[in-house]
Structure 1
Amino acid sequence: MSAVTDDTTRADAVGGRSTAAAPPSGRLGRALGWLAIVVVVVVLALMSLRLLIIAPDLSGPLNPESPGPNGAKAIAELTRQEGVQIEITRSRTVAAAAGGTGSTLVLTDPAALSDAAAMELIESADRVVLLTSSARMLRLLDLGERGFPAGLVSPGCDLVEFSRVGSIDADRAFTPASDVTGCFSDTRGDAAVLRSTDAQTGQSITMVDATGLLANQHLAENGNAALGLALLAQTDEVVWYIPTFEDGDRTDGAPATLGDLTPDWLTPAIVLLLLAGVAVVVWRGRRFGPLVAESLPVTVRVSETMHGRARLTAQSADAAHAASAIRDGSRRRLAARLSLSPTAAAHEVADAAADRLRVPRGSLHELLAGAPPHSDHDLVDIARRLADLETAVDAAVHTERNLP
């Protein structure tokens, strides 16, 4: 029990006050308070869940809604500025219905779709742009084979939309099939862009590995932006399909959900732990009732606390602890007399006292912050010297104040 606590206790006892807090309002008020907290938590949880549900999924490369480095929002906005309307969908049914005459179907690798579903979606559009280097799509559409990285290449083909596109640094080139037109070809004859046109239906399919060309972080390089407009801005409407596993008809490649990765016993165990936690809260919470006011049984004087501490220190023969307390008290008293901060360090107080007493600086460091005593005789000597120092400083300060 500290001296501050004793003073406060004594003041409370003398003034007739009680240290116990006043009892709170009735049970109805507490119940309403807890009910308000529960309502706020439920509302915040519902709002967070709603935000998670309505927030669009921006993951995946070349997402036209993603402003990230690997997204394709920049080329989508440039295409809109050309007067092209872009419809973004994650449903292949909507994409198949919208991809008719006068529109362009844009999609990346539809890995979540089976071969039949992917071909059905592609056959529903008159103009298809594949922004992928998928070997499966090359095989299904009979466009050719995958080649080596092309590097910096120029159009080099008769397609009008690519005539004003500059050079591009293609990450992947393809070996075009015999009836497929290759643009942006290298010295080996591999092309970065493949174009296949059906003579009977007039359907055109363009394939390019655009992951490093039309992504936001690379769009301003070389002729990438012009290539993107040449691919997307040739019709008045673009249907951009974002493949997802939820919309796909394949289950072998779908990522495992959290329920698939956890054992069957985990959910019952979590529920049981929650119920046990609620039971513990109810059990222990009933032990805390309202505070009851009661009178203090006794008043403890500060002097009694001081004498008690002194007796404990003497019984334990802890000369080092006693010396530390004596030095700390002398340091605080000297700091007050020398107009220093109460938190001034021992060496600062020692130097200020040395200046007042006109003795060399450093001569008092050992006294105020030296090594702890090893015996009671050393402790008595330190206490006597500290008392003499305080007396000398008092005399010096008093003399300076009385000088005219």
Structure 2
Amino acid sequence: MTATAQTDAAAPDEMPGTAVREKGRLRSALGWIAIAALVIAFALFVASITMSTPASRGALDPESADESGALALAELLRDEGVDVTIARTRVDATAALGADSTLVMADPFALSDEAVDDLIAPADNAVILSSASRLLRILGLGENAIATSDAALDAQCDLPELANVGTVHPDRFFTPAAGVTGCYTDSDGAAALLVDDSDDSRVALIEGSTLFSNEHLAENGNAALGLALLGQGEHIVWYVPSFEDSDIEAQSTDTLATLTPPWVTPAILLLLLAGIVAGIARGQRFGPLVAETLPVTVRASETMHGRARLTAKAGDAAHAAHALRDGSLRRLAARLGLTARSTPNEIADAASDRLRIPRGSLHRLLAGPLPASDPELIDTARRLAELEAAVETAVHVERNTP
């Protein structure tokens, strides 16, 4: 037999071992390719989150079609021949103001007191669609007041532009300062609209979130009131506040993240992800969980009292109010026949329909800002208890009514 024949005869015996080794290398290569693909996908995901910016609009934004936006009012003003200029910076708003321009804005939360004064000063007519206590103090218009009536109100003032507006159902009331005209007043003299004509210019303030938003504009005389307040001139400069236009500079201490190059944190995250994926791919499965009984049984009441003492010692009124509100929401949802996943706004709407009271006040109580002091915490707890008692009484009466 020749050497060539011997080689050809030996080749078939060596092929199975070679094929097995090739398959092993292929599986290993595919595993590392999969790990690399996961790392790349995670990097692209992080980059997309970092580079993207939110496009949502805030409340009473004249370009927002959401329920809380004010696009409908802006379009009504344009239909009446009013030129509406939307400014998202103080510089643009000041530049757009003219002799017959009306400055319109919601609460300029991102501006300092000096910046608010500088923004309103050039305007002959300014309409503030917010009821922030800070604006009442800056403009000297009055103080917050508690409403004594939930009925719809007429203007009840001498402003001629409000003569044919009709009735509206305001949600916030104020006590006018000396020389300030109050409109839509209740029996105690608290007014929903404040108008100051003491200087050469006019400043009007009203809570517009429940009157001029897209959701409520068609109710009562809300649209007519919006046109009367904002449409007196031929030009409106609607300033939309944002954190990007803030003049308040926050100073923060240097940290390790600020002292290192920007690529260090993504690189560390990628290395951690790669290590986790490699460990899962090459590691063994975990065994079953071992159940152990605790040596001590702690009663729920002891845990509750301990957490309450810690909260009281820390003086954290917001945390305590959050716990009270969470419990009230769960109990109200059960009494109103709602699911445990119902949102605070849904529970507030259901309670408002059951008790026949305005929704805005319940929205602030069940989903609004948390109190920051002990007196506010006590008031919030009292209001929550009264709301639960009222709902319980209403549900009990309905169940026993034949």
Summarize deviations over 1:129-164 as a string: whole Å, max 9, x none: 000111111111111111123532111111111111
3-state secondary structure, aligned to 2:227: helix
3-state secondary structure, aligned to 2:135: helix
Cα distance in 1, alignment partners of residues 272 and 175 from structure 2:
65
For residue 212 of structure 1, report the CA deviation from its aligned partner. 0.8
For residue 48 of structure 1, report the CA deviation from its aligned partner. 9.5
Name the structure 2 match of 1:191.
Answer: 191
Query: For 1:205-354, what aligned pairs fall within 5 Å after superposition?
Result: 205-251=203-249, 268-274=264-270
Aligned 8 A contact 1:132 1:207 in 2? yes
Cα distance in 1, alignment partners of residues 146 and 111 from structure 2:
27
Q: Percent of aligned pairs with the same residue?
A: 42
> How much is the aligned-residue C-alpha RMSD, in angstroms?
4.5
> 2:74 aligned with 1:84, yes or no?
no
Name the structure 2 match of 1:178.
Answer: 178
Aligned 8 A contact 2:68 2:215 in 1? yes
With structure 1 as the length reference, what TM-score do the two structures score? 0.52
Cα distance in 2, alignment partners of residues 56 and 84 from structure 1:
27
Structure 2 unaligned regions, length at least 5: 1-18, 24-39, 278-402
Name the structure 2 match of 1:119.
Answer: 117
Aligned CA distance change for structure 1 residues 277 and 219 (closer, same or farther; 3 Å): closer
Name the structure 2 match of 1:136.
Answer: 134
Cα distance in 1, alignment partners of residues 95 and 233 from structure 2:
17
Cα distance in 1, alignment partners of residues 105 and 256 from structure 2:
30
Aligned CA distance change for structure 1 residues 182 and 261 (closer, same or farther; 3 Å): farther
Aligned CA distance change for structure 1 residues 272 and 171 (closer, same or farther; 3 Å): same
3-state secondary structure, aligned to 1:153: coil
For residue 261 of structure 1, report the CA deviation from its aligned partner. 12
Summarize deviations over 1:335-393 as a string: whole Å, max 9, x none: xxxxxxxxxxxxxxxxxxxxxxxxxxxxxxxxxxxxxxxxxxxxxxxxxxxxxxxxxxx
For residue 207 of structure 1, report the CA deviation from its aligned partner. 0.5
Aligned 8 A contact 1:133 1:209 in 2? yes
Aligned 8 A contact 2:129 2:205 in 1? yes
Instruction: Kindly name which structure, 1 or 2, has the bigger radius of gyration based on alpha carbons.
Output: 1
Cα distance in 2, alignment partners of residues 46 and 265 from structure 1:
18
Aligned 8 A contact 2:101 2:234 in 1? yes
What amino acid is the match of 1:214?
F
For residue 271 of structure 1, report the CA deviation from its aligned partner. 0.7
Aligned CA distance change for structure 1 residues 261 and 222 (closer, same or farther; 3 Å): farther
Cα distance in 2, alignment partners of residues 42 and 262 from structure 1:
19
Name the structure 2 match of 1:155.
Answer: 155
Cα distance in 2, alignment partners of residues 84 and 43 from structure 1:
47
3-state secondary structure, aligned to 2:215: coil
For residue 279 of structure 1, report the CA deviation from its aligned partner. 10
Cα distance in 1, alignment partners of residues 191 and 270 from structure 2:
61
Aligned CA distance change for structure 1 residues 101 and 42 (closer, same or farther; 3 Å): farther
3-state secondary structure, aligned to 1:240: strand
Name the structure 2 match of 1:96.
Answer: 94
Name the structure 1 match of 2:13.
Answer: none
With structure 2 as the length reference, what TM-score do the two structures score? 0.52
For residue 249 of structure 1, report the CA deviation from its aligned partner. 1.3
Aligned length: 257
Cα distance in 1, alignment partners of residues 185 and 192 from structure 2:
6
> 2:75 aligned with 1:108, yes or no?
no
For residue 222 of structure 1, report the CA deviation from its aligned partner. 0.8
Cα distance in 1, alignment partners of residues 93 and 117 from structure 2:
13
What amino acid is the match of 2:176?
P
Aligned CA distance change for structure 1 residues 196 and 273 (closer, same or farther; 3 Å): closer
For residue 263 of structure 1, report the CA deviation from its aligned partner. 9.1
Aligned CA distance change for structure 1 residues 86 and 163 (closer, same or farther; 3 Å): same
